[in-house]
A and B are shown apart, each in its own frame.
Chain A
């Protein structure tokens, strides 16, 4: 027998935990980011690079507008770019505040804004001469940078032209040298510009920070997408109806499978499995006509009829194993003591089966809550919530943070319920043989 040395053992253990943590990390990372983005304001979500976490307060900088007489220039600190970025330039205070709220999810009280504006005016008046000097400097640096930029573009173009030509290697080297010089020059200018702007900051502006409304996207999602509250309500309605249908019908079949031996049992078991594996879309497509004939098209009940087709199989499967776990002797004992068959079931088996049945109910709830594909085909004017999120995603590109908020709203109950019944799910997949 080989014996591992202590060091090897430790190495093995460390490696093992690295793999385990790695798996958990890869699974959780995208979930973390979507959650983080769902709390971000437009300004944060469209910043580059996106911040690795959402901010909870925003720092604002208020200064005098140079373009508009007696106007304001409001900027917000961007964590990503490590500097203040302009939000709005204008003179109408209400307009500024409204726009800022949309952009940063911060509602600045008007009193505070006016107070800060007054403060800013006083400081600016006091430092007028210095400010004007710095502005002159900034303008001249900007002109220089613009010139260098155009030079660089030209050089790059020339470089591309001579790139592949053997005979022009000398020229190529020369161009490259020149390009490097220019780029170095540019960074020096940029540094100067940053310094000048920093000097300016203490002279002409006031700062303040405001708590961000981090749930703003969730509220906005329900405001901007048409009928999303109604859709949320319908989704819950569909899910509850599906649970009701599939638990009654599937539960009865599950009990029969668990307790009785009868002819055709195997065929039935096979058909339940087969129906479960049948593509949902292939059922949803013709259901458009059938539900329309029944008068249930585009109604929650119609949708839950379709969902139940798949869910009954699953419920049968789960409830059968639940009932199998409860000894039939208990029921028989109750019958010996004078209970009827139904009484024995209600008083003995059902209470014992309740946790398992609840798990099965939650499972079909999640199933129909999250279902999107069939709902896309089967709804028209009364979509369920996932369809609303889908339409927002496919229809309106952009609005990343709003879509993230919609997606999280969708995911939260599904994940929560799954974790509640994880024991049953693991059990179910533990015995995956037919």
Chain B
């Protein structure tokens, strides 16, 4: 549209205000229900349990808790392994599936289901599956893979094995969804560039490495960082399958301090401040990498 120079009149000024009126409720809402709790939790994390004096005790207690180190370690392992594993498999599957075929829409619908399942349903599914007398062992037995006495003790493994079990469960839920995001990215690529790559003598591998992947960069970044953010926050599925404090992770500890211990509410708040800082840090990296800061108002 060609800008028309106008003198500012009353209704025009009002017109300029409309968008602000429209976003005002969101701003107010965020102030009351987001900013307010964030400030509150920051404030109380530095107050002692009886709210009488300022203290660093809450944070010191966390840093001295042996479970804290374990939680950091487990969360880190979970994020690194699960994100790498899920991304690699999802990318591979997306590249394979990236063509028109009959039943594509059915497959996409099926891929949406695991993400749509509530956490408790996923928990019920796998805790009944991995029980010694559960359906997983029954299935393996019926297929003739294990013998009657060879039941696999899924839930009785060591700490690291149990963590990998959780990673597998998480992968089942996340890979299909990640595949959809990457598939959408792949389908949005211009066909001409890829064809040009082949015309100029590129093999499948070089075209993938030199053309497809760089063009897919923004989809990959989005998928990866959103995934990292949600991977840091894993906890409920662990508690549903193993209970509290079997495999400590950051958020599980937050809820543990609040729900299972008495008079540790402020410690739990301090804990949640730590987790929020970590997640915010990754979020800001994401916003920076995705170029959201640079984007001019369009």
Option from A263, A390, A433 in Cβ contact (under 8 Å) with B297: A263
Q: Please report the C-alpha to C-alpha distance between residue A389 and residue B272 in the assembled complex, in whole angstroms.
A: 25
| CB closest residue in chain A, given B108 | A426
Is there an interface contact between A256 and B93, defined as CB atoms closer than 8 Å?
A: no
Residues from chain A with Cβ under 8 Å of B124 in the complex = 34, 389, 393, 403-404, 406-407
Residue on B nearest A306 in the bound complex, by CB: B33
- B84 at interface (Cβ–Cβ under 8 A)? no
**Closest A-chain residue to B115, C-beta based?**
A418
The main secondary structure of chain B at its interface with chain A is: helix
List of A residues within 8 angstroms of B280 by Cβ: 274, 278
Residue of A nearest to B232 (CB): A279
Contact of B120 among A17, A261, A389 (CB under 8 A): A389
Cβ-based interface call for A262 (8 A): yes
> Which residue in A28, A249, A277, A373 is a CB contact (below 8 Å) of B235?
A373
> Does A250 interact with chain B (Cβ within 8 Å)?
yes
Q: Is the CB of B93 within 8 A of A281?
A: no
**In the complex, which of the residues B103, B118, B139 has the most CB atoms of chain A within 10 Å of its own CB atom?**
B118
- For residue B231, give the distance in angstroms from its CB to the closest CB of chain A: 12
Contact B180 A429 (CB under 8 A): yes
Q: Find the B residue at minimum CB distance from A372.
A: B119
User: Of all chain B residues, which has the CB nearest A265?
Assistant: B297
A30's contact among B126, B235, B295, by CB below 8 Å, is which? B126
A23-B93, A270-B293, A281-B251 are known contacts. Are A252 and B283 too (CB-CB below 8 A)? Answer: no
Give A309 to B29 CA distance when docked, in angstroms.
8
Q: Does B41 contact A (CB under 8 A)?
A: yes
Cβ B22 vs Cβ A252 within 8 A: yes
Report A283 CB to chain B, min CB distance, Å: 5
Interchain CB contact under 8 A, A260 and B18: yes
Q: Is the CB of A422 within 8 A of B26?
A: no
Q: Is B134 an interface residue (CB 8 A)?
A: yes
Whole-angstrom distance between the alpha carbons of A281 and B259 in the complex? 12
Tally A residues with Cβ within 8 Å of B. Answer: 98
From the candidates A31, A289, A305, A426, name the one contacting B180 in the complex (CB within 8 A).
A426
- CB of A22, distance to nearest CB on chain B (Å): 10
Tell me which of B26, B243, B298 has the highest count of chain A C-beta atoms within 10 A of its own C-beta: B26
A407 and B137 alpha carbons, distance in the complex (Å): 21
Look across to chain A and name the residue whose beta carbon is closest to the beta carbon of B225: A277
B68 in contact (CB, < 8 A): no
Asked whether B66 is an interface residue with its Cβ less than 8 Å from the other chain, the reply is no
The distance in angstroms between the C-alpha atoms of A269 and B293, with both chains bound, is 10
Q: Is the CB of A418 within 8 A of B37?
A: no
Contact with A along B108-141 (1 / 0, CB 8 A): 1111111111111101111111010111011101
Judged by DSSP, the binding face of A is helix
Q: Which of B158-166, B181-189, B205-213 participates in binding chain A?
A: B181-189
B30: contacting residue among A28, A277, A309, A432, CB under 8 A = A309
Residues of chain A contacted by B141 (CB below 8 angstroms) = 49
Contact of A282 (CB < 8 Å), options: B131, B180, B259, B272 = B272
Which of B26, B44, B120 meets A407, CB within 8 Å?
Answer: B120
Cα(A403)–Cα(B128), bound, Å: 9
Minimum C-beta distance from B25 to chain A (A) = 5
Query: Quick check: B184 and A253 within 8 Å, CB to CB?
Result: no
The answer to whether A218 has its CB under 8 Å from any CB of chain B is no
Residue of A16, A34, A279, A376 touching B276 (CB-CB under 8 A): A279
Q: Which residues of A contact B133 (CB under 8 A)?
A: 46, 48, 50
Are the C-beta atoms of B129 and A434 separated by less than 8 Å?
Answer: no
Is there contact, CB below 8 Å, between A278 and B121? no
Residues of B within 8 A of A26 (CB): 172
Query: Is A20 an interface position by the 8 A CB rule?
Result: yes
Q: Is the CB of A429 within 8 A of B120?
A: no
Interface string of A286-300 (1 = CB under 8 A from B): 111110000000000
> Which B-chain residue is minimally distant from A32 (CB atoms)?
B135
In contact, A27 and B172 (Cβ under 8 angstroms): yes
Query: Which residues 395-434 of A sit at the B interface, judged by CB distance below 8 A?
Result: 400, 403-404, 406-408, 410-411, 414-415, 417-419, 422, 425-426, 429-434
Q: Is B219 an interface residue (CB 8 A)?
A: yes
A-B contact pairs, 18 of them (CB 8 A): A20-B107, A26-B172, A34-B125, A249-B29, A252-B25, A269-B292, A274-B283, A278-B280, A279-B233, A281-B235, A286-B37, A286-B40, A289-B40, A376-B259, A393-B127, A419-B112, A431-B184, A432-B185
Chain B residues proximal to chain A, CB less than 8 Å: 16, 18-20, 22-23, 25-27, 29-30, 33-34, 36-38, 40-41, 44, 93, 96-97, 101, 103, 106-121, 123-129, 131, 133-135, 137-139, 141-142, 172, 176, 180-181, 184-185, 187-188, 218-219, 222-223, 226, 229, 232-233, 235-236, 239-240, 243, 251, 254-255, 258-259, 265, 268-269, 272-273, 275-276, 279-280, 283-284, 286-287, 290-293, 295-298
Chain A residues with CB under 8 Å of chain B are 16-17, 19-20, 23-24, 26-28, 30-31, 33-34, 36-37, 46, 48-52, 80, 248-250, 252-253, 255-257, 259-263, 265-266, 268-275, 277-283, 285-290, 305-306, 308-309, 312, 316, 366, 369-370, 372-373, 376-377, 386, 389-390, 393-394, 400, 403-404, 406-408, 410-411, 414-415, 417-419, 422, 425-426, 429-434
Could you list 13 further interchain pairs (A-B, Cβ under 8 angstroms) beyond the known A262-B19, A309-B30, A394-B240?
A52-B139, A249-B29, A256-B22, A263-B297, A266-B292, A266-B297, A275-B34, A277-B226, A281-B251, A372-B119, A414-B117, A417-B116, A429-B181
The 10 A-B residue pairs whose C-beta atoms are closest, nearest first, are: A407-B124, A49-B138, A286-B41, A370-B118, A256-B22, A260-B19, A418-B116, A282-B276, A411-B121, A430-B184
